[in-house]
Amino acid sequence: MSYPAHVKAILVLGLPLVGGHLAQMGIGLTDTIMVGWYGAEALATVTLASTLFMTVFLAGSGFAWAVMPMVAKYVAEEDEQQVRRATRMGLWLSALYCAAIFPLLWWSDPVLRALGQAPQIAAEAQVYLRFLVFGLLPALVTMTLKSYLAALEKTQVVFWVTAIAVPFNAAANYALIFGNFGFPELGIKGAAIASLSTHVFSAVVTAGYIIGFVPQHALFQRLWKSDWDMFGTVFRLGWPIGLTTLSEVGLFAASAIMMGWLGTIPLAAHGIALQLASVMFMLHLGLSNAATVRAGNAFGRQDWTHMARGGAMALALSVGVALATIILFIALPEPLIVIFLDPGDPARAAIIETGIVLLAVAAVFQLVDGAQVVALGLLRGVQDTRVPMWIAAVSYWVLGLPAAYLLGFTFGLGGAGVWGGLVVGLAAAAVLLNHRFWRRILPGFSRLAAPGPTA
C-alpha cells in the first residue's frame, strides 16, 4: 500500500474509534460539568473519586486491550475458533479482576485519608464509590466487547454504542444530581448512580448487538466453560498491558493527590484541565487502537513493510492532532474552562486562573503524549507487552513522579510544577517506546519476530 492509502485505511478504521472514545469522554465531561454546576466542593470530591475509579478501571482493562491484537491476528489467520476463545477468556479475566478489586473501592475512605486527602472529601468520595463500584464489571465487559468488535473492524458499532450512552448519562445526571423529572436531589450520589446506570446500559446494548448481528462466534454460549490454555495466553499478554496503563494513569492519579495537597481550588482546576487534556488524548488513543488492529493483522500475515508504513502514518496523524490541540489550548483556555463552572460560584475566578496555567502546560505535552500512546498501540499489535511495561514504569514513576514533586513542592511551582512532572514522564515514554518499536520494525525485525509473539 502507498502512504496515502495507509492514511485512508487508518482514518476509515480509526475515526469511528476516535468518535467512540470522544463519546466515552463525553460521559465523563457530562459528569464533571454537572457536578461543577452543583458546587466546587462536590467537583473536588467527584474528581478525586473518579480518579481512583478510573485508575482501577484502566489497570484492569489490560485483559480487554489484549483481546484486540489477539483477535486481529486470528482474523488475519482466518481462525474463528481462536477469536471466540480469546474474547471469552478476556471476559473471564475481567470478571475475576472486579471481584479482587471490590474491597479497595468499597473501603476507599481510609485509603484516601492515608494519601493525605481532607477527611470530609475522602468520606464523600467513598459514598460516591460505593455506588459506582458496581459499575466496574459492566464497564470492563463493555471494553472487552468493544475490543473484539474493533478487531473485527466493526468500529462504527463501537462509536454508536458509546454515542447512544452520552444522552442517556446526561439525562440521568440531570435527573438525579439536581432532582429533576420528579426524582429526589441526590447530589454526588446521583452522579454515581447515573454513571453506574450508564455502564450497565452500554454493556447490555453492546452484548445485544453482538448476539443479534455477529452470531458466528457464539460468544455467550456456554460462557461458563473453562478454557485454561487461552486463559493463560490472554493473562500473559494482558497483565503487562494493565500495569503499563496503571503506570500512566497512576501518574495522573498521583498528580491529583498532589493537587489535593495544594487545596480545593487547585484540585478543582486540575479536574477541569485534565478532562480537557483527556478529550484531546482520545484522538490519539483512537489512532493507537487503529494502529494496534492494523499491526496485528500485518503480524498475522508476517508483512513487516506494511506494518512499518502504517506505523509511520499513524504517528504522522498523531502529530497533526497534537499541533491543533496546542493552538486550541494556548488560544482559548478561558472559554474552555468556564464550561465546567457555575457563573455564580465564588471560587470561579480562582479556578479559571489556575486552570489557564495548567492548560498551558498540557499544551506542552501533547506531542509526546500522542507519540507514546501510538507507539504503545503498535507494540501491542505485535504482542510485545512486557518491555513496554518496564519502559512505562521507569518513565512515569522513576522520572515523572519525582519530577512532579520536586517542581511542584521543592521548587515551589505549585500546580504548574506538578504538571511539569507529567511532561517529563510522557516525554521519556515517547522516546523509549518509539525506539523500541522502530528498532524492531527496521533491519532484523522479521528475524526477531519469526519465533512468535514476544512477551
Cite the DSSP H helix spans in 214-303.
Answer: 228-262, 264-301
For residues 223 and 442, the model is more confident at: 223
Residue 227, φ and ψ in degrees, nearest 5: -150, 75
**pLDDT value of position 446:** 46
Asked if 420 and 407 count as a contact pair (C-beta separation under 8 A), the reply is yes
**pLDDT value of position 316:** 92
C-alpha span between 3 and 312 (Å, rounded): 9
DSSP SS3 for 428: helix
Instruction: Say whether pLDDT at 17 is over 60.
Output: yes
**pLDDT value of position 371:** 93
C-alpha span between 273 and 362 (Å, rounded): 8
The C-alpha cell that represents 336 in the structure block: 474552555
Asked if 269 and 362 count as a contact pair (C-beta separation under 8 A), the reply is no
Q: What is the pTM of this model?
A: 0.79
Asked if 349 and 330 count as a contact pair (C-beta separation under 8 A), the reply is no
Residue 263, φ and ψ in degrees, nearest 5: 130, 175
Instruction: Say whether pLDDT at 23 is over 80.
Output: no
**pLDDT value of position 137:** 94
Q: What is the mean pLDDT of residues 13-18?
A: 83
C-alpha span between 47 and 336 (Å, rounded): 17
Share above pLDDT 70 across residues of the chain, in percent, rounded to a whole number: 96
Q: At what angle do helices 264-301 and 62-76 cross, to 10 degrees?
A: 20
Structure confidence by residue, pLDDT tens digits, 204-244: 999 999 998 888 887 887 788 888 999 999 999 999 998 99
Asked if 30 and 175 count as a contact pair (C-beta separation under 8 A), the reply is no
Instruction: Say whether pLDDT at 246 is over 50.
Output: yes
Q: What contacts 181, CB < 8 A, 6 or more positions away?
A: 174, 175
Structure confidence by residue, pLDDT tens digits, 314-345: 999 999 999 999 999 999 888 988 887 878 77
**pLDDT value of position 433:** 95
**Angle formed at CA 370 by CA 365 and CA 373, multiple of 5 degrees:** 120
Chain centroid to CA 255: 16
